[in-house]
Amino acid sequence: MAGSVILIIALSLFGLAVAFFYMKKVTSIPIDLGLNPEESGKLKAIHGAIAEGAMAFLKQEYKVLLWFVLGFAVVIGLLTDNAETQGTNEGWYTAFAFIYGAAISILSGYIGMKVATAGNARTTVSARNGLADAFGVAINSGAVMGFALVSLATLGMISIYLVMKHLLVDVPNNVLMEVIAGFGLGGSTIALFARVGGGIFTKAADVGADLVGKVEKGIPEDDPRNPAVIADNVGDNVGDVAGMGADLFGSCAESTCAALVISAVAFASDVNAMVYPIMITAVGIVVSLVTKIVSQMLVTVSAEDKVGKALKMLLGVSTALMVVAIYFVTTMMIPATFEINGVAYTNMGVYWCFLAGLLAGLAVGFLTEYYTSTEYAPVREIAKSCETGAATNIIFGLALGYKSTVLPYIAIAIAIFTSWHLAGMYGIAIASIGMLGTLVIALMIDAYGPVADNAGGIAEMAGLDKEVRRRTDILDAAGNTTAAIGKGFAIGAAILTSLALFSAFITSAQSLMRALPKYGADYNLVNHITLLDPVVYTALFIGAVLPFLFSAMTMKSVGSAAFDMIEEVRRQFRTIPGLMEGTGRPDYATCVAISTKAALREMIAPGVLIIGTPLLAGFLFGVQAVAGILAGSLVAGGVLAISSSNSGGAWDNAKKYIEKGNHGGKGSECHKAAVVGDTVGDPLKDTSGPSLNILIKLSAILSLVFAPFFVNFGGQLL
Amino acid sequence: MAGSVILIIALSLFGLAVAFFYMKKVTSIPIDLGLNPEESGKLKAIHGAIAEGAMAFLKQEYKVLLWFVLGFAVVIGLLTDNAETQGTNEGWYTAFAFIYGAAISILSGYIGMKVATAGNARTTVSARNGLADAFGVAINSGAVMGFALVSLATLGMISIYLVMKHLLVDVPNNVLMEVIAGFGLGGSTIALFARVGGGIFTKAADVGADLVGKVEKGIPEDDPRNPAVIADNVGDNVGDVAGMGADLFGSCAESTCAALVISAVAFASDVNAMVYPIMITAVGIVVSLVTKIVSQMLVTVSAEDKVGKALKMLLGVSTALMVVAIYFVTTMMIPATFEINGVAYTNMGVYWCFLAGLLAGLAVGFLTEYYTSTEYAPVREIAKSCETGAATNIIFGLALGYKSTVLPYIAIAIAIFTSWHLAGMYGIAIASIGMLGTLVIALMIDAYGPVADNAGGIAEMAGLDKEVRRRTDILDAAGNTTAAIGKGFAIGAAILTSLALFSAFITSAQSLMRALPKYGADYNLVNHITLLDPVVYTALFIGAVLPFLFSAMTMKSVGSAAFDMIEEVRRQFRTIPGLMEGTGRPDYATCVAISTKAALREMIAPGVLIIGTPLLAGFLFGVQAVAGILAGSLVAGGVLAISSSNSGGAWDNAKKYIEKGNHGGKGSECHKAAVVGDTVGDPLKDTSGPSLNILIKLSAILSLVFAPFFVNFGGQLL
């Protein structure tokens, strides 16, 4: 076994140990630390309800997914072998890799959810001792998620690589890598359902809780009398922890798979160079641990303004360390010069691709912050527009979202152009891994957010001191800003990953086609995916409407799921005696069950759309149609994703800005207009926007895995 | 001179005569027919104010455009000659064609505006005699616009063809056609400013009049006390007559230019076949006259429900007649078989391309009606969603817009695919002409709408009998439905035209490149615009954000122009004594001037964006970058255009549906939520949506005209 392979395994196991360490650190805190018996009882009950609700949802979701994954694995096994082209029959190996990837994604989500629901109440009780303690618990909970997920990803990828290399000895390298791409597809399929389902769950609960509780009944947010309040808190975990984790696990697995498929051509016999993409992520584990320790020493969360600083310090230090570390990794693992398809590249070029991705990711992240933070002009302009009513607020918010796509797209375009120039399609894949370079830290901060948010809800519901809630609110607010940056990274990485997968798909399809007599060994697929080809251009149009249809479906799903929830909450207020007075006990579990049921019901149709469209188009119109659809949906989907997220984020923060007392403050006409914007933005920023990331990536990796199917059986109507 | 050329000239002159005939018919009605002196005085004053305001705007706009057109003509003259490639120096001829196209577009808009402002008051007074009389005047006013514009277009195109053929005798046919493409660019440039400027004018006036008049002061719509009421009526003419006319004139000229450029290769010596694209439109003149006469005999507008029938009869008869007429035209003018770039096609194939375009246009039109009419489920669902507030209304409306792009795109994709299959890129150009096959009728109905709308406003302001207003409202409502169908045609035609122009651009650029030693005679440009080319893919991303940025700019322009108007109307109510009581006289002219100023100010930046981006990208990154930008902005822009128009239309009609007494009717909470949606939809459906048509087409024809510039001087940064 090559030294680099051993090192990756060692780093992965080390990362798991770190995750375990932080897990212990969190759970070692007594859940009712310093509370009197009455408070303790209340808190335990609430904490239990949230944890149970979250697990109940996951269990239901995984039950559905189990059957889907098994069924789809059979489809993969049957359709993706290369018997007709390369004489190999590796479809069932791909199916196995698919199940393996799905299983690891599920495991990561499960761990994240476990620690998030363990950390929330502990953050609450620690907040009684001060900001620093609470921050420590929340960020350590996030760290468990970050280290566990990334370590499982690298361990999963290196192990599937080793297993498949061992099992498929006579198979060409590129076919081997296609089998491994099944791993990425598995992760991405889970991500699809986790993102869409989680997004619908969380928004249905949120809207239901707000509309009946806050608006109709006039009780405050997170009031324990509100039957949907537990579902709302469960939703934060389901959407922002499990959904987001699955999404980023998918990105990580997919960009690595794309890089592996391309490097299979370049580094056929050089194992070190081949596993370099996995090594980047594995090195990130150590770098992140060092970052966490160093940041803790540099910033003590002693006061309100230090929280944001501490989070940004984490991002800054990890970026700087990665820039240095990957320089050495690259020069050691990649040959000084190498060739892909006859073009010569250098290892320094590859390093610059990594940097291009990392910098573009930072740029997109900070642009997201610029467009969605109350600190800058765009959100303040939105807030001001509320003075002339809800309609102007919506118009300005939509315009902001549209406009905010320009600079991120230019940043991504520059990254694409330079890395393509420096290392071809391999460069794009490396750039996308670069964009995920600080993945552990990104996950840590992302999971920190819902933990802090939940902690505030628990404090409120358990009736703890106001000061506790104030402290958790500070943690939550700082988390929102950095979460916006993380969202930017996620979209950027999805776009680059998808582009790399697209090129891997073309490379793979071309080599399969060349083996068929009807195309011949000289067939150049690239010359058949031009902008003047009727099939390609027509498919480009079809691809471009996919994200819009998908968004429409998920937006309306939130609407109808929220409707079910509203009905149930109204029913409880009507039929349970003494609920409003605080003497009756609300039926939290039914609300959780309703959100669960709605989420599972509504996630099917968009899922079928994303998976079915490329398969059907390829079957009917062949590889060219698939290529057109991928390009169309990538280009249009990316714009829509960024604009949806940013419009939603800006409306949310414009409302918060007004609530701070600007433009008339809470309760004014202006505030009412802002609330309309916030409600419109919720499904955009938390459901349809982030789900588009998955659409972009999933259709691309799906096409890569099904390339043999398209080549052998595609184009029935041509 | 070939017989077909003479026939086209004869048909064009005949069309102008028909237009003149209908003009006389309209103006022969006394403007104060049957009114008492007091009514007569009021009506004349109001009519005069609208006509003056409209002309004042046009005059100001044309003054700005004159300088722009002359300046841009110099740029064209200097940059688009082919001296380095084909030894010809035809830049200044192109510049001349550009000015000629711009001048004819301006003339068409002017005629349309003249007759619309002459027809509005005459429709009002005729409505006193009954529905049939009023309908007759309004539709005859529309007929003037339809016949005049189309005849001027065919006359302009055939004359520029003859003049340039005479002047440029030694020049290859394809270069000749590129010069003629300057004509299309001229028309399109005017269309850009007319659409954007007109759209901003009309919405600023509309919002200003509604927000202060209806909402703040509580006076009814079209109340003469409202200072912005004249500007509002002027806006209907400026936006829906002049703007829409220029848009469709541009589409007609551009699709014909695209067909001409491609047929220059196929039919080098066959003049009949060459001018076939112009003949289709010219034949439409006679067909439309027959249609109008036949329809009048078949449907008498005796009752309310007959109005819509009469309008749809016009569309139906003209479609049927065109299907028959063009069959004979095609078999007579196009050789049974012919070759383009070595591929053989048939004249029957060409005929089917025409049909594919016509049918796709109908399909898109009726789908638009389905998604935006109160008769069908989508709008009713939006209306119902208003019950849970403005936010759900917005979410459902956005989702409807997104979803409504799918079927039109599929219809267009089928048209593209079949016509490409049947006659290559020539087929696409013919399909786009087919989509505009019933152009005279489409223009007739489109211009009829604002005339009927204005007529109602005049009736209200002049204080005529309630029955008059009721009758004009019936005319107006029927016009709105058919206008929605016309909007669908316009977007579909823009997409197909742009695609045809795109292919003409590639064809033209390739032949220019082959003449340069650095590319060589075998250079195949098509193989350099693949989806795996870094420049192309990067440019695809940049192209995709253009429509979003453009929409953001125009949406915000409406906002800030409306803001100016609101301030002015508030000022007048505050400072003019007795205004509210009806004793003081509002200062209509200042409101018109404010809308004019804002429109002219705000149209500059989006204009520069559209024209500047392809030129800059081509200069810096060459032909491939331009190709990517065109494809990206076409694909993304089309979706955004359809979704913006349909969301806006659905919100508008959902409000009207509620006002009819559904879901609580006027004044209910539900209605208030619907008003928010309507206000959000206004700039989407009347400004940014329709302007996107122009973005799509203009950037394509611009690239075609500037192909020599890109080939000779482009790619400075590569």
Task: Tell whether B435 lies on the interface with A, counting CB pairs under 8 A.
Answer: no
Model confidence at B134, pLDDT cuts 50, 70, 90, reads very high
What's the rounded mean pLDDT across residues B487-503?
88
pLDDT at B271: 85
Q: What is the mean pLDDT of residues B573-577?
A: 91
The reply to whether residue A676 touches residue B394, judged by beta carbons under 8 angstroms, is: yes
| Residue A85 pLDDT exceeds 70 | no
Q: Give percent above pLDDT 90 in chain B.
A: 64
- Residue A581, H or E segment: none
Please tell me if residue B385 touches chain A, with a CB cutoff of 8 Å. yes
Q: Would you say residue A87 has pLDDT above 70?
A: no
Give the count of alpha carbons within 13 A of B487, CB side only. 30
Please indicate whether, in this complex, the C-beta atoms of B532 and A529 are within 8 angstroms of each other: yes
For the segment A169-188, the average pLDDT, to the nearest whole number, is: 86
- Residues with Cβ < 8 Å from B515, sequence gap 6 or more? B85, B86
List B residues 231-290 in contact with A (Cβ-Cβ < 8 A).
none
The string of pLDDT tens digits covering residues B75-96 is 999 998 876 556 567 889 999 9
- The Cα-based distances of B328 to A228, A576, B321 in angstroms read 69, 77, 11
In the predicted model, what is the mean pLDDT of chain A? 91
User: What local confidence, expressed as pLDDT, does residue B643 receive?
Assistant: 96
Specify the range with the lowest mean pLDDT, choosing from A122-131, B489-498, B649-658.
B489-498
For residue A69, pLDDT beyond 60: yes
Per-residue pLDDT tens digits for A133-158: 999 999 999 999 999 999 999 999 99
Mean pLDDT of A190-203: 91
At B88 the pLDDT is: 65
- Give the bridge partners for A346, in sequence order: A337
Q: What is the mean pLDDT of residues B63-84?
A: 88
CB within 8 Å: B635 and A548: no
Whole-number percent of chain A with pLDDT over 70 = 99
Does A628 lie at the interface with B, CB-CB under 8 angstroms?
A: yes
Instruction: Decide if B530 and A532 are in contact by the 8 Å CB cutoff.
Output: no
Q: What is the value of pTM for the model shown?
A: 0.94
Nearest to B392 among A398, A559, A635 (CB): A559
pLDDT 10s digits, A642-693: 999 999 999 999 999 999 999 999 889 999 999 999 999 999 998 899 899 9
CB-count burial class (<10 Å; 0-12, 13-18, 19+) for B1: exposed
What is the spatial distance between Cα B69 and Cα B53, in angstroms, rounded to a whole number? 24
Residue A339: per-residue pLDDT: 87
- What residues of chain B lie within 8 A of the CB of A542, using their CB? 409-410, 413
Q: What is the helix (H) or strand (E) element at residue A485, kind and residue range?
A: helix A466-514
Q: According to the model, what pLDDT value does residue A667 have? A: 85
Q: For residue range A264-313, what is the model confidence (pLDDT) as tens digits?
A: 777 877 888 889 999 999 999 999 999 999 999 998 888 888 898 999 89
- pLDDT value at B209 more than 80: yes
The pLDDT value recorded for residue B581 is 87
Looking at chain B, which residue has its C-alpha nearest residue A634? B541
pLDDT, residue A7, reads 96
Mean pLDDT (whole number) for A457-471: 91
Handedness of CA B472, B475, B481, B482 (dihedral sign): negative
Q: Is the pLDDT of residue A365 over 60?
A: yes
**How far is the C-alpha of B635 from the C-alpha of B629, rounded, in Å?**
10
Among A548, A557, A529, residue whose Cα is nearest residue A639: A548
A396 CB neighbours in chain B (<8 A) are 556, 559
pLDDT at A467 (0 to 100):
92
Compute the nearest-CA separation of A313 from chain B (Å): 32
Determine, for residues B536 and A531 on separate chains, whether the beta-carbon distance falls below 8 Å.
yes
Q: What is the ipTM of this complex?
A: 0.93
Contact between residue B263 and residue B426 where contact means Cβ atoms under 8 Å apart: yes
CB atoms within 10 A of CB A304: 15
Contact B639/A545, CB-based, under 8 Å? yes
Q: Is the CB of B555 less than 8 angstroms away from the CB of A402?
A: yes
Q: What is the DSSP secondary structure assignment for residue B220, as one 8-state letter?
A: P
Contact A635 B636 (CB under 8 A): yes
pLDDT digits (tens, 9 = 90+) for B1-30: 688 999 999 999 999 999 999 999 999 999
Torsion angle of alpha carbons A223, A224, A230, A233, nearest 10°? Answer: 40
Nearest CB partner across the interface for A552, out of B399, B553, B558? B399
Give me the DSSP letters along A183-204.
HHHHHHHHHHHHHHHHHHHHHH
8 Å CB contact of A529 and B530? yes
Tell me the pLDDT band of A172, cut-offs 50, 70 and 90. Answer: confident
CA B706 to chain centre: 23
| Tokens 């998976």 sit on residue | A611
**Dihedral angle computed from the Cα positions of residues B712, B714, B716 and B718, in that order, rounded to the nearest 10 degrees:** -110
| Predicted local distance difference test score (pLDDT) of residue B165 | 86
> What is residue B83's predicted lDDT score, i.e. its pLDDT?
61
The residue in chain A having the minimum alpha-carbon distance to the alpha carbon of residue B395 is A680
Between A260 and B102, residue with greater pLDDT: B102
Please tell me which residue, A472 or A172, carries the higher pLDDT value: A472
Instruction: Give me A261's structure tokens.
Output: 């498929």
CA distance B345 to B351: 11
| Residues B138-197: tens digit of each pLDDT | 999 999 999 999 999 999 999 999 999 888 887 777 788 888 899 999 999 999 999 899
A363 contact B CB<8A:
no
Cα(first)–Cα(last) distance of chain A, in Å? 48
Testing the interface with B: which of A410, A545, A655, A669 to mutate, by most B Cβ within 10 A?
Answer: A545
Backbone angles phi, psi at A633, to 5 degrees: -75, -30
DSSP A334: S
Residue B717 near residue B677, CB atoms below 8 Å: no
Separation CA B529–CA B625 (nearest Å): 9
Which pair of structure tokens corresponds to residue A132?
């620093």
Q: Is B503 on the interface with A (CB under 8 A)?
A: yes
In whole angstroms, how far apart are CA A197 and each of A54, A204, A236, A545?
13, 11, 12, 22
A549 Cα to chain B: minimum distance (Å) = 5
- What pLDDT is recorded for position A84? 58
Measured distance CA(A583)–CA(A580) in Å, rounded: 8
The amino acid that residue B164 corresponds to is M
Listed in sequence order, the DSSP H helices in A268-389 are 271-274, 276-298, 306-333, 347-372, 377-385
Of the pLDDT bands very low, low, confident and very high (cuts 50, 70, 90), residue B299 is confident
**Of the ranges B241-250, B266-275, B395-404, B601-610, the best mean pLDDT one:** B395-404
Residue A506 touches partner B, C-beta closer than 8 Å: yes
**Joined tokens for residue B610:** 């559209």
| Nearest-angstrom CA–CA distance, A663 and A678 | 16
Residues of chain B with Cβ-Cβ distance to A388 below 8 Å are: 211, 563, 566
CB A566 within 8 A of CB A208: yes
Q: Which residues of A touch B399 (CB under 8 A)?
A: 551-553, 555-556, 559
Residue A372: name the closest of A244, A492, A494, A480 by CA: A480
Touching check for B391 and chain A: CB below 8 Å? yes
- Please determine, for residue A239, whether its predicted confidence score (pLDDT) is greater than 60: yes
Interface of A with B in 661-680 (CB under 8 A): 675-677, 679-680
Helix A406-435 with A276-298: angle, nearest 10 deg: 100
Q: What is the CA radius of gyration of chain B?
A: 25
Residues of B with Cβ-Cβ distance to A532 under 8 angstroms: 425, 503, 506, 526, 529
Q: Residue A487 and residue A495: Cα distance in Å, rounded? A: 13
Give the closest-approach CA distance of B66 to chain A in angstroms: 31
